[in-house]
Structure 1
C-alpha cells in the first residue's frame, strides 16, 4: 500500500487503539484531528532517503513498544525486501503533530528507515522527538498512549 508523505490519510475512517497488555480491550473513535500519511512505501515508488538522528529512531521504536494502533488480522510484508526475508507488519503508529494534525505511519516504518534508508519528513521526525515517552509508557488501560482521545470514544471493556 502506497501513500505519498503528508497526503491525507483515508485508509480507515476510525482509529482503534488496543491494549497491548491484554490484547483484548480496545477503544475506537472517529478522529477530530487530521491524519497525514508518513512512510507508506511500495516497491517501484520513489521515496526520500537520507540519514536521521539516532535518537529519533530509538524513540520511534520505543513508541511502537507502547502503542498498538489499528491492528489488523492480516499482515503486510515489506515488498522492498527479497520475498524470503521480508518482515511483516499489521498495524499503525499515530504521532501527534501541531495541534489538530496526527501523523499516520505503518508499523513497518522503523524497518523502512533502518533497512532501506527512508527519511521521513522533518515535521514527523520533530513530532516523534517531542513525544512524552514517559507519559505514554506509563499509560495503562483505559488510558492509551496518545493524547487526543475524545471523551465519547467507544470502549470495549470486557
Structure 2
C-alpha cells in the first residue's frame, strides 16, 4: 500500500489503540488532529533514501514495542524484499508532531529504514526524537501512550 509522504492519511476514519500487554483491550475514536502519511512504501514507487541518525531508529523501534495502533487481522508483507524473506506487519504507529498533527506510519517502517535505506521526512525524524519514551513506557492501560486521546474515546475494557 503506497501513500506519498506527508499527504493526508485517509485509510480509515478512526484510530484504534490496543493495550500492548493484553492485546485485547482497546479504545477507538475519530481523530480531531490531522494525520499525515510517512513510510508507506511499495515496490516500483520511488522513495527517498539515505542515512538517518542511529538514535532515531533505536527510539522508533522502542516506541513500536509500546505502541499498538490499528492492528489488523491480516498482514502486509514487504514487497521490496524477496518473497521468502519478506517480513510482515499488521499495524501502524502514531507520532505526535506539531500541534494538531500526528504522523501515521506502517509498522514496517523500521524495516524499510534498516533494510531498504528509506529516509523519512526530517519533521518525522524530529517528532520521533521528541517523544518522551520514559513517559510512554510507564503508561499502563486504561491510559494509552499517545497525548491526544479524547476523554470520550470508546473503550473495550472487558
TM-score calculated relative to the size of structure 1: 1.00
Corresponding residue for 1:46?
46
Structure 1 stretches lacking a partner, 5+ long: none
Separation in 1, partners of 2:22, 2:146: 18
User: What number of residue pairs does the alignment pair up?
Assistant: 158
Corresponding residue for 1:7?
7
Separation in 2, partners of 1:109, 1:81: 14
Separation in 1, partners of 2:55, 2:11: 29
| Cα offset, 1:20, TM superposition | 1.0
SS at match of 1:114: helix
| Cα offset, 1:75, TM superposition | 0.1
| Cα offset, 1:149, TM superposition | 0.2
Structure 2 stretches lacking a partner, 5+ long: none
SS at match of 1:35: strand
TM alignment of 1:139-158, pairs within 5 A: 139-158=139-158
Corresponding residue for 1:29?
29
SS at match of 2:150: coil
TM-score calculated relative to the size of structure 2: 1.00
- Measured against aligned partners, the alpha-carbon deviations of 1:67-98 in whole angstroms (never above 9, x if no partner) come to 01100000000000000000000000000000
Query: Considering only aligned residues, what root-mean-square deviation do their CA atoms show, in Å?
Result: 0.3
| Cα offset, 1:132, TM superposition | 0.4
Separation in 2, partners of 1:124, 1:31: 19
TM alignment of 1:18-97, pairs within 5 A: 18-97=18-97
Corresponding residue for 1:129?
129
